[in-house]
Chains A and B, each alone.
Chain A
Amino acid sequence: MTSTPTDLTAAQAVAAGSGDTPEAPAAPAAGALRAGAGGTWQALRRDVGAMLGLGYIVLVTLVAIFAPVLTAISGWTPYEFDQTAIDPNLGGMPIGPWGGVSAEHWFGVEPGSGRDIFARIVYGARVSMSIALSATALTTVLGVSLGLVAGYFGGRVDLVISRVMDFLMAFPALIFMIAVLSALPAGNRSTLLVVVISVFGWPYLARIVRGQTMSLAQREFVEAARAAGASGTRIVFREILPNLRSTIIVMATLAVPGYVGTEAGLSFLGVGVVPPEPSWGQMIAASVKWYAVDPAYFVFPGVFLFLLVLSFTVLGDRLRAVVDAQEGR
């Protein structure tokens, strides 16, 4: 499963606490691990949709990592203005068809400024991927640990954590995120975005982890561990957590498209990544003024964004189907 960079984050978040899977004691009794990661990968590999999605995710990841190399080859940085590519007599419209697509500018240029769209897409991929994956990692760590603690220890701890979750889930999250981000200084927006998204995102995973932990805590292997004198922390992280692995991976994969969309949406509304740093959402927002005369300007970032969200959604969906089938549901 961890053969691709995009899977790393989710998998690492799990591996960090769980130790090695073979250590999970009484594995036959645990049931959830019956098929193991190898079987999941085998089943997933036969699924065309999942593989196409994974392929696109890998592509975008590589593009994001090698952004400087790619712009060196294409010859334009995302911040350079090319006055020769736009027509001042037409209000700054790109010269040439499809928004100025040419050998010089592969995806055309921005109307008005003449900045290279290919370069901005490539650097925008960095923003999209890094924010969505960091937010997923942070929500996973928060959601899993708080869910485990609430589910295993119960009592007052559970009461407090559950109340906080209820409160956060009953919160008008998008509006509040916008309000907070608009009030905060423009400083390091990427980090702020990750933090704000995660604060509102973790309860959705924690609720499921809590429920599963409560039922796992009743199982024989946990009782055995307790009888053997294992501490609460050890039981939670060594006995229960490994059994939640597939749930966590599926939930994390399904969370990514939401966060990609949230980042783009917030940037679209002008409270996300600050210009001139490029982001796909922000490019689409800028294209609203031009869409009638230069549709290529919104088509490029729009298609890249749509395909990224679609890929993660399809991958997550198929992953869940495979895992569900393995667990005999």
Chain B
Amino acid sequence: MPRFLITRVASGLGVLLLVCLFTYLVFFALSPDPAVQICGKNCTPEVIDQIRGNLGLDQPFWTQFFHFVVGIFAGRTYGEGVGAVECAAPCLGYSFQSSQAVWDMIIQRLPVSATIAVGAAVLWLLAGLAGGLLSAVKEGTFLDRFTTGLTLTSMSIPNYVLALVLQYVLVVKLQWLPFPQAVAFADDPGQWFANFVMPWIVLAVGYAAAYTRLTRANVLDVLRENYVRTAYAKGLAQPLVWRRHALRPALTPIVTIFGMDFAGLLGGALITETVFGINGVGKMAADSIARNDQPVIMGVTLLAGFLVVVGNIVVDVVYTAIDPRVRVNA
């Protein structure tokens, strides 16, 4: 087990380093000179040179990249002498726009994004599992066909379109809900729910549909297995067969997929937060894209990569714990 974990963590770090390298390379090679951007309107070549020197932009690619990676683990110092700026680890640089440390910007906005992500995940797990099980129990009935149709529709509606429709109907026309804002749970639980419920739904709908289909398919597959037939032959009643023999193997694959989906949620949060104007990490990324604020885009890309890598490792560990069949190889 420890050795398996060590290899997984090592390969995860490798992936992260590559993500880092790719992103850095893209910005290094393709984007306009950041020093000119930071400098702004009243700019002289001397100032540009100075900024370049301070940020280390005058150095070759590999040196810059090395400093960037070391900065993440050990922190780094920009510039020299009196004007030097100490950037504590994990240092992701400073925003070109606001001059804030990227790490601080992310940490500030992470709770809001986490609220949206966790709420959506709860919603889609509940809806997906319930829908899938119901559909499987009633296989071939009207209810099953209705659920299947509903899932195909839900999978196809782009989340920003759904967001606009919901916001138009529920907020503008019916005025049941407020325009979503990040309200803290501690301040007012009722308002907290009313503000976050639309982002949750919008982010969850596509996943809920996919999980419904997956659950249904898995359950139906397992019910065709020989050991289920054996269980019935032993005289077990249907609820018992389901509980003891069918559900566990049918639902374990969902753990894997849930881990991956949850870890990759930042991409979806980007669109959801932008449409609703909620100031989380996703909206920050979208804004910095619009303003070409590279350090922030870099930081969010790395965060997304980190979450995916960690998610994968967690899934592997959890999977060996809940599925006895893979434990042998581990």
Contact = CB atoms under 8 A, between A and B. Distances in A.
Nearest to A291: B164
B70 interface: no
Contacts of A309: 156-158
A310 B157 CA distance: 8
B158 A313 contact: no
Given A170-B312, A269-B286, A288-B164, A306 B274 contact: no
Contacts of A305: 158, 161
A87 interface: no
B266 interface: yes
Contact of A179 (B158, B165, B301, B312): B301
Interface in A259-295: 261, 264-265, 268-271, 281, 284-285, 287-288, 291-292, 295
Interface stretch (A93-101, A180-188, A212-220, A224-232): A180-188
Given A302-B161, A305-B158, A171 B286 contact: no
A179 B297 contact: yes
B27 A175 contact: no
Interface in A295-320: 295, 298, 302, 305-306, 309-310, 313-314, 317
Given A171-B308, A172-B301, A295-B168, A310 B15 contact: no
Residue in B18, B26, B161, B309 whose Cβ sees the most chain A Cβ within 10 Å: B161
B18 A269 contact: no
8 contacts: A171-B15, A176-B19, A264-B158, A269-B271, A270-B286, A287-B164, A291-B167, A302-B165
A183 B27 contact: yes
B167 A175 contact: no
Given A179-B297, A183-B294, A171 B164 contact: no
B297 A269 contact: no
A170 B15 contact: yes
Nearest to B306: A172
B155 interface: yes
A170 B27 contact: no
Contacts of B158: 261, 264-265, 268, 281, 284, 302, 305-306, 309
Nearest to A285: B160
Given A172-B304, A175-B285, A310 B156 contact: yes
Nearest to A308: B156
A311 B293 CA distance: 38
A266 B22 CA distance: 20
Contacts of A183: 26-27, 30-31, 292, 294, 297
B5 interface: no
A261 B162 CA distance: 13
Contact of A284 (B155, B161, B289): B161
B124 to A, nearest CB: 18
Contact of B157 (A271, A281, A292, A306): A306
Residue in B156, B286, B308 whose Cβ sees the most chain A Cβ within 10 Å: B156
Given A264-B158, A265-B158, A310-B153, A175 B164 contact: no
A184 B30 CA distance: 6
Given A178-B270, A183-B31, A268-B271, A172 B264 contact: yes
Closest 3 A/B residue pairs (Cβ): A174-B267, A172-B304, A310-B156
Interface size, A (range): 35 or more
A175 B300 contact: yes
B46 to A, nearest CB: 27
Interface in B1-38: 15, 18-19, 22-23, 26-27, 30-31
A172 B266 contact: yes
Contacts of A235: none
B305 interface: yes
A142 interface: no
Interface string B261-273: 0001011101100
A275 B15 CA distance: 35
B279 to A, nearest CB: 16
A184 B26 CA distance: 8
Nearest to A271: B289
B289 A174 contact: no
A167 interface: yes
Nearest to B311: A170
Contacts of A287: 164
A179 B298 CA distance: 8
A317 B152 contact: yes
A313 B152 contact: yes
Nearest to B268: A174
B275 interface: yes
B24 to A, nearest CB: 10
Contacts of B330: none
Contacts of A179: 23, 26-27, 289, 297-298, 301
A175 B301 contact: yes
Interface in A142-193: 167, 170-176, 178-180, 182-185
Contacts of B164: 284, 287-288, 291, 298, 302
Nearest to B266: A175
A292 B294 contact: no
Interface in B93-140: none
Interface string B237-273: 0000000000000000000000000001011101100
Contacts of B155: 313
Contacts of A313: 152, 155-156
A184 B23 CA distance: 12
A257 interface: yes
B290 interface: yes
Nearest to B27: A183
Contacts of B266: 172, 175
A325 B168 CA distance: 43
B152 to A, nearest CB: 6
B74 interface: no
B184 interface: no
A292 B289 contact: no
